[in-house]
Amino acid sequence: MDAEEDLFSGRVEDAVYRMPLAPSHRGNPLIEALPPILVERVDILRSLLNDVVFDPELKDAPARIRLHELDLLRQLWMPQPVHAVLEGRISTMLRSGYFARNPRDLRRWYETMEQARADLARAADAQEAKVMPGRRKAAPKVVQAHSTGLSVIGTSGCGKTTSVKRILSRYPQVIVHGAEADDMPVTTQLVWLMITCPGDGGVVGLARAIIRAFDVVLGTNLSDGFIRSRASAETMRAAAVSLAHLHALGVLVIDEIQILQRSKGDNAESIMNFLLTMMNDLRVPVVVIGTGGAKDFLSKELQSGRRFSSGGHFPMGPLARGPELDGFVRRLWSRRLVRETPDWDALEEGQRKAILRTIWLMTAGIHDLVVKSFMLAQCRALEVGGETLTPEVFKTVYEVDFAMLHDVIRRMRKGGQVDDAEWDAMRNAFMPGSFAKVEPAFPVAPRAAAPVGGTDADERRDKPAHPGEAPAKRKRVRKPSPPHRDRKADPDRGAASVAELRACGMLGRPLTGERGDVVG
């Protein structure tokens, strides 16, 4: 994939130096050029909000126009209090990383670069001794991390990557130091860099991704030269480290870190040692983002030397059933374009509870699905000439638009884990678009079962290809028995009871998917 297509980039600004609020930050131009620290939580949440505000007069527009405007809700991002905590973590680690890299101290600046190169050479020698026959095996050098690392792990669709992107967007990606930089080794400061873990999970791929990201952001063309010359892994790593030091990289963010689970050989160990060099010698903080599948891997691979322990582990999950989901839907409800639906507080308490219960059952509290269910419910209402949002409209969205997500959502409601690849495939396919085919809410006929004696295709397959030949033997594949399903409610996980499912019309009067799967 092209680096420009997959790279999250930001803005470029000229340096404006401010007096930092923290006394320890003063005298360092890399910190003084950053935006001021936000103190109040309300200011932090406001800075992270990516709002969608509709003109009140838009409700008088034709339904077709409103359908197009509703599509803007895909861009909506409403931060929660937990995201203010995450912003504080990243803000602290960014500045602490610069604290040990003051470009005014030239002697220490160049010593840091030489130390990084020496450690890379030692790690390469140790890795070569480990894989080359006839040489003594040696483990790569592992030292205590001087900078900080942070892991953001959670369920797909809960806003891990989006929240980090919104936090990074508070800062310019590139700061150009002008006349003040005449006596400094840094003229172009790269505040943050966000890349996706390479598909091969190798250190060469990671180093190449970093160099390509530098090319895209700074307008250089270094990566092509390395690719044409078929540079070695050591050369690529050294180049990435040199660029990070030369441009004073503030924080490195690696998304989809769970890809390392598929790494072959010592790729994962090599990448971790490479990241340690960035953290230990260059003092560059590293943030890794991944789904639940990466948690066990990171716990195993990063425990020696207390790696990534300074910034800690930041888990993110779905919206909890109760006040958290209620507050989120309350804020979401004001972004509606249907005419006859009253404000959230104007609804009767029973109506609010029924809508909240239905939304949770059909989304399991996943942020992305809650927003899309609200958007698609309005589309469904407008497409059939309605102007109200009711639990029945949300159920229709679940039946038709979320049909491919039934299995995933059912497991999420019960607190189970979902395979990352399965979730991504279903999530990318479930959205048929705002103008999806309108189908009746009830009933959705399940797929007819195959006849007991087999199908016509089976009979044709059993016939011999030529006269005189014996018919081919059919292999009968036993279908696995369905897993045991616990019907007991689990209040800690917010599991839905059978009574709640039946009360919402999701049992007894079943909602079915394309395969006839019944929710619950």
Which of left, alpha, beta for 62 (phi over 0: left; psi -120 to 50: alpha)?
Answer: beta
Q: Which two tokens stand for residue 445?
A: 């006929």
Closest by alpha carbon to 274, among 205, 193, 191?
A: 205
* Contact by Cβ (8 Å): 156, 419: no
If you write DSSP's letter for every residue of 389-414 in order, what string do you get?
A: --HHHHHHHHHHTTGGGHHHHHHHHT
Cα→Cα distances 509→35, 72, 444, 457, 515, Å: 56, 34, 11, 34, 16
Give pTM, 2 decimals.
0.76
pLDDT at residue 379, rounded to an integer: 95
Say how far apart CA 381 and CA 63 lie, in whole Å: 10
Closest by alpha carbon to 152, among 227, 82, 95?
A: 82
**Residue pLDDT tens, the chain, 520 long:** 444 556 899 999 999 999 999 998 999 999 999 999 999 999 999 999 999 999 999 999 999 999 999 999 999 999 999 999 999 999 999 998 898 788 888 787 777 777 766 766 665 565 555 544 443 334 434 334 356 788 898 888 888 999 999 999 999 999 999 876 677 888 899 999 999 988 765 788 888 889 999 999 998 888 777 766 677 777 888 888 888 888 999 999 999 888 877 666 566 677 777 887 778 777 889 999 988 767 766 666 554 435 555 567 788 889 999 999 999 999 999 999 999 999 999 999 999 999 999 999 999 999 999 999 999 999 999 998 889 999 999 999 999 999 988 888 888 887 766 655 555 555 554 444 433 333 333 333 344 444 444 444 444 444 544 555 555 555 555 555 545 444 444 444 444 544 544 454 444 333 333 334 433 3
CB contact set of 293 (below 8 Å; sequence gap of 6+): 258, 261, 417, 419, 420
Say how far apart CA 79 and CA 498 lie, in whole Å: 32
CA 511 to chain centre: 30
pLDDT at residue 427, rounded to an integer: 53
Look at residue 42 and give its three-state secondary structure.
Answer: helix
Say how far apart CA 212 and CA 224 lie, in whole Å: 9
Measured at the CA of 128, the angle between CA 123 and CA 130, to 5 degrees, comes to: 95
Look at residue 450 and give its three-state secondary structure.
Answer: coil
CB contact set of 227 (below 8 Å; sequence gap of 6+): 208
Look at residue 10 and give its three-state secondary structure.
Answer: coil
Q: Which two tokens stand for residue 274?
A: 């490479």
Residue 233 has φ and ψ, to the nearest 5°, of -60, -40
CB contact set of 13 (below 8 Å; sequence gap of 6+): 172, 174, 175, 176
